[in-house]
Structures are given as C-alpha cells and as structure tokens.
C-alpha cells in the first residue's frame, strides 16, 4: 500500500465520526501523491504525513452564559492549533449550531495550506462554538463572547495564536472578544484580527475575502483567455464574503444575479443591488425575504436553487458541501466556464471531479478565499509596528498578493505534470513551504 493510502486509512480509523475532516485530508493527500512519491522513503521514516494530519494541540471547553430570561445556557468551545511550522497559529472562529470537532479540524487543516500560499508567516488553526447567534439579543451575544474568551484567552496571544472571524463571527463579536481578552490579560495587542478601525483594525479586512476572490478569479480567467468583464455571475451566501464578492464583481464589470441565505435565495435579473444587501444584512441583520420589497423586479425562492441559474462564473460563498454533483451538472449544462470557492470546501469531491472533467476552470477555497487571512496577517504587521496603512496600500497589496498566488499554484501544477489542475497546484504549493519548515525544525 502506498504511504498516502496508509495515512488516509489511519486518519479514518483514528478519527471516527469526522467526515468533513476525512474529506479535507483526502483531497489534500490525493493531490500530493506526485510529491510524496518522489520523497516516499524519507517522508515515511520521518512520519511526515502523520505529523501533518495530527493537530499540534486541540482544546475543547465549556462555555456557560446567562440568557436574557436568566436561564443558564451551555455551549462547547473549540480551538484547534494545527500547525505552527511557518508562524503563529492563524484562523477564524466559527459560531454556528453545526460546529463540532470534525468541522473545526477540516477548517484548521485547510488553513495550514491556505496560510502558506499567502506567502506570509502564519501557521494554521481554527476555532469556534456550536453557539447560534441567530435571534440572540446584543447583550446575549456579548455575554457569550465574554465567556468564550474567558477560557480561550489562556491559549492565545499576538505571537502564539491569533483568531479572527468566520461564519457568525463579524466585527461585533470580535469587539466583545477583544474587550474581554484585554480585561483578563491586560494586554492591548494584536491577538485578534478583523478588529474595528478605532482599536487596531485594518482597512480592507472587511472587504478582503470577497475582493481577493474576485481579483484571483479575474486572474485565472485572464490566464485562460477570458475576463470578468461582461460576465454573468452566480453567488451563494449573503454574509461577509458574499457581499464583498458581489461588490467587487460589479466594479470589475460583471453582473451578479443571485445570492442566498440558509432559508432561501434571490434572483435579480438586473444585478444584485449591493447597497440593499448591506442594508438588510449588515445594518438590520434581517433575512433575504426582504430584498424583494426594495427590488420589485427580483424573485425570492425558498430553499436551495442558486446553481440552477444560468451563469458564466459560479462563486459559492456560504458553507461546506453546498455545491454537489447535481449542481455541478446544472452548471456544466448551462455553460459555466469557472467556479471559484469563496467559502471553505463548498464543492463536494464528486462535484469538483465532474467540473474538472468537463473543462470548467476550478479554483479551490484555500487559494480563492486566501485574501481574508492574508489581510489579517497584514493587520498583525500593522499592530506590531503600531501603524495604520491606507486603503489604497492595503487594496493594492491584496490584489498583487492574489495575482502572485494564482501564478504560484499554476506553476506548481505545471511542475508536477498536472497543468491546469488548480486543486493540485494549490495543495502542492502550500505543502512545499510547510514541509521545508517542518524538516528544518526537526521531529517536533
Ligand atoms: P457569514 O456568517 O458572514 O455569512 C455566511 C452566509 O452563508 C450567510 O448568508 C449564511 O446564511 C450562509 N450559511 C451559513 N451556513 C449555512 C448553511 N449551513 N446552509 C446554508 N447557508 C449557510 O460568514 P462568512 O461570509 O464570513 O463565511 C462564509 C464562508 O466563507 C465560510 O465557509 C467561511 O469559512 C469562508 N471564509 C470566510 C472568510 C472571512 O474572512 N470571513 C475568509 C475565508 C473563508 P444564514 O445567515 O441564513 O445562516
Ligand atoms: O477561513 C478563513 O481563512 C477565515 N475565516 C479568515 C481567517 C483569518 O485569520 O483572517
């Protein structure tokens, strides 16, 4: 049995009931086969892949808080510190009722390679809780965040582990968590990113994931003889990533005709009005059912349906496994030329395979959504030098970083004989730097 297959088998056996984690590991290790085969003897002797798939540390804790009725509520908190070979652990905190160890481990594992691809000195980690922010009052959110940080603060720090936002964690939650960290540790330091601008946050961090997704998608299209100009785009999600993806797509001359939340989806033939979307989602924190009241020409549908709409480019920006084989077949039948993942692992393995076999350009999340964490790393730099960079400087740095990232993974794919396979290219390019650092630092 090959070394990769042996490790895959062990991962499934030793981590039962973690399907998302198995899925993420399998995708990465499968595409690393050409690299592993070249170094099989050394990697096996050093148990390199076993060390890569085993988190350095995983922390699970109780989060008690009191709701507005005086009832004590209990949630579970997680922080998985996966790999610190190239820098302090870095990755978001997800607040969603679906959160469990499998989801945090898949996200943390992906983060190792994503962070490496940015070219910046950040290791991989992820955390979160099964807390559901929906329907909670502002005070309940604050109480949860304070209790969560009371425990988490023991394990993080500006030079050790720097969390940020993810699903359910935005500027409001980061603010409450930062306040509690400062109160407990007495340190005003860059321990979280995605902070507000008045207390150490960076310009462009809010926009970074969505903007970065569009910069790299445009570069991929150009490299293949197309461009975003004049294209019709389908986006799923209506959160931080989706909103700024829609905004930048418009600025680059494309028209986005869909968005969605967990209840339903919107089709706007004239193009999603991003100001309306921000008003509904960022200001009012309401549901997409309201969109039609602002835009009478649009349609609202219950359930799932974004991928049935005819589009040139599809950008899944909601959550894992939201684009399946049937959706991929719809996209191919509708003539879609490119899919780029704004979310983490939104496309199922069968769907990725179908898209690639049918000639659709496919850019995986660890490359396509890396602009968010890259900008977080630049927020860390600004905090360390106690300076603040301009919007223009941040935006142009983000853009050139995404363009370089694309060419690096394109070159890595070519080097290993899988030209045009950007999944393999991203995994290989991300892996090479991490392995080099792990080898240099000995068996730890
Ligand atoms: P938000 O919480 O801001 O928005 C999430 C959006 O996705 C909402 O519209 C939400 O709908 C929808 N959604 C979430 N879970 C589900 C689900 N189970 N089924 C259907 N719809 C769902 O999160 P972000 O925009 O920050 O994150 C979106 C994705 O992007 C995630 O995969 C995240 O890991 C990834 N990502 C985020 C980065 C960032 O900087 N924020 C960076 C890189 C990746 P509803 O409101 O109904 O729940
Ligand atoms: O998935 C991700 O890359 C994020 N949620 C952002 C992490 C970060 O540290 O900015």
Annotate 136-150 with DSSP letters as a single string: --HHHHHHHHHHHHH
When pLDDT is averaged across residues 55-82 and rounded to a whole number, the result is: 98
Max CA distance (Å), the chain: 64
* pLDDT at 24 (0 to 100): 98
The region, left, alpha or beta by phi > 0 then psi within -120 to 50, assigned to residue 200 is: left
The pLDDT value recorded for residue 372 is 98
Pocket of ligand 1 (CB under 6 A): 96, 98, 165-168, 209, 237-242, 261-263, 317-319, 342-344, 369, 372
Ligand nearest to the CA of 375: 2
pLDDT value of position 386 = 97
For ligand 2, the distance from its centroid to the CA atom of residue 166, given in whole angstroms, is: 6
Confidence of residue 201 (pLDDT cuts 50, 70, 90): very high
Ligand 2 nearest-atom number relative to CA 115:
3
The confidence score (pLDDT) of residue 305 equals: 98
**CB environment 245-273: b (16+ within 10 A), e (fewer):** bbbbbbebebbbbbbbbeebbbbbeebbb
Distance 240 CA to ligand 2 centre (A): 11
Contact at 8 Å (CB) between 86 and 121?
A: yes
Q: Could you give the residue numbers annotated as active site?
A: 126
pLDDT at 155: 98
Q: Which atom of ligand 2 lies nearest, measured to the CA of 162?
A: 9
- Within 132-204, residue ranges assigned H as helices are 138-152, 171-185
> Collapsing DSSP states into helix, strand and coil, what is residue 23?
helix
pLDDT digit string, tens, across residues 32-57: 999 999 999 999 999 999 999 999 99
The encoded tokens of residue 118 equal 């940015």
Which pLDDT does position 3 carry in this prediction? Answer: 98
Going by pLDDT thresholds of 50, 70 and 90, the confidence category of residue 392 is very high
The arithmetic mean of pLDDT across residues 363-371, rounded, is 99
Q: Using pLDDT thresholds of 50, 70 and 90, give the confidence band for residue 89.
A: very high
Nearest protein CA to atom 11 of ligand 1, as residue:
261
Establish whether residue 164 lines the binding site of ligand 2, counting it when its CB lies within 6 angstroms of any ligand atom.
yes
By most ligand atoms within 8 Å of CB, the mutation choice from 316, 318, 347, 368 for ligand 1 is: 318
**117 C-alpha to ligand 1 centroid (Å):** 22
The alpha carbon torsion through 120, 207, 239, 313 (nearest 10 deg) reads -90
193 Cα to the center of ligand 2, angstroms: 9
- pLDDT digits 0-9 by tens, 401-443: 999 999 999 999 999 999 999 999 999 999 999 999 999 999 9
Q: Give counts: helices (H), strands (E), the chain.
A: 18, 12
Whole-angstrom distance, CA of residue 412 vs CA of residue 427: 9
Question: Which tokens hold the place of 240?
Answer: 């931080």
Instruction: Give dist(CA 84, CA 437) in Å, integer.
Output: 9
Q: Whose CA is nearest to atom 30 of ligand 1?
A: 343
The CA distance from 87 to 381, in Å, is 13
Q: Residues of the chain with pLDDT > 70: what percent?
A: 100
Q: 193: Cβ below 6 Å to ligand 2? A: yes
Q: What does the mean pLDDT of the chain come to?
A: 98
Using the mean position of ligand 1's atoms as its centre, give its distance from the Cα of residue 241 in Å: 7
pLDDT (mean) for 230-251? 98
Mean pLDDT, residues 328-344 taken together: 98
Q: Output the DSSP codes for 204-271.
A: THHHHHHHHHHHHHHHHHHHTT--STT-EEEEE--SHHHHHHHHHHHHTT-EEEEEE-SSEEEE-TT-
Q: Is 425 in the pocket of ligand 2 (CB under 6 A)?
A: no
């Amino acid at each position: 049995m090959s070394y990769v297959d042996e490790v895959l088998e062990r991962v499934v056996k030793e981590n039962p009931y973690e399907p998302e984690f198995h899925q993420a590991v399998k995708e990465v290790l499968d595409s690393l086969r050409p690299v592993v085969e070249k170094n099989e003897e050394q990697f096996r002797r050093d148990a390199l892949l076993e060390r890569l798939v085993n988190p350095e540390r995983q922390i699970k804790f109780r989060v008690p808080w009191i709701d507005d009725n005086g009832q004590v509520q209990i949630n579970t908190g997680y922080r998985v510190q996966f790999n610190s070979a190239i820098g302090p652990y870095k990755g978001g905190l997800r607040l969603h009722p679906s959160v469990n160890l499998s989801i945090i481990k898949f996200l943390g594992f992906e983060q190792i390679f994503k962070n490496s691809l940015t070219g910046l000195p950040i290791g991989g980690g992820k955390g979160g809780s099964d807390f559901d922010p929906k329907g909670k009052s502002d005070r309940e959110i604050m109480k949860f965040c304070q209790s969560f940080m009371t425990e988490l603060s023991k394990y993080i720090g500006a030079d050790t582990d720097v969390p940020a936002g993810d699903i359910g964690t935005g500027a409001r939650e980061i603010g409450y968590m930062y306040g509690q960290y400062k109160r407990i540790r007495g340190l005003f330091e860059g321990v979280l990113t995605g902070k507000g601008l008045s207390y150490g946050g960076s310009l462009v961090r809010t926009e970074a994931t969505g903007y970065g997704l569009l910069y790299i998608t445009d570069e991929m299209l150009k490299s293949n003889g197309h461009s975003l100009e004049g294209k019709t785009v389908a986006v799923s999600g209506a959160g931080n990533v989706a909103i700024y993806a829609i905004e930048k797509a418009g600025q680059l001359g494309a028209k986005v005709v869909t968005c969605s939340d967990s209840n339903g989806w919107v089709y706007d033939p004239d193009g999603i009005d991003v100001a309306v979307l921000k008003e509904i989602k960022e200001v009012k924190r309401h549901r997409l059912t309201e969109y039609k009241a602002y835009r009478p020409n649009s349609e609202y549908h219950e359930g799932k349906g974004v991928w049935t709409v005819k589009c040139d480019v599809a950008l899944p920006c909601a959550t894992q496994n939201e684009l399946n084989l049937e959706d991929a077949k719809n996209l191919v039948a509708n003539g879609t030329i490119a899919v780029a993942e704004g979310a983490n692992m939104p496309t199922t393995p069968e769907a990725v395979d179908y898209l690639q076999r049918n000639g659709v350009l496919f850019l995986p999340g660890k490359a396509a959504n890396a602009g968010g964490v890259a900008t977080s790393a630049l927020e860390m730099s600004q905090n360390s030098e106690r300076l603040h960079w301009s919007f223009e400087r941040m935006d142009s740095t983000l853009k050139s970083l995404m363009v370089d990232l694309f060419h690096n993974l394109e070159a890595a794919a070519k080097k290993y004989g899988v030209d045009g396979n950007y999944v393999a290219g991203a995994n290989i390019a991300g892996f090479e730097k991490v392995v080099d650092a792990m080898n240099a630092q000995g068996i730890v």
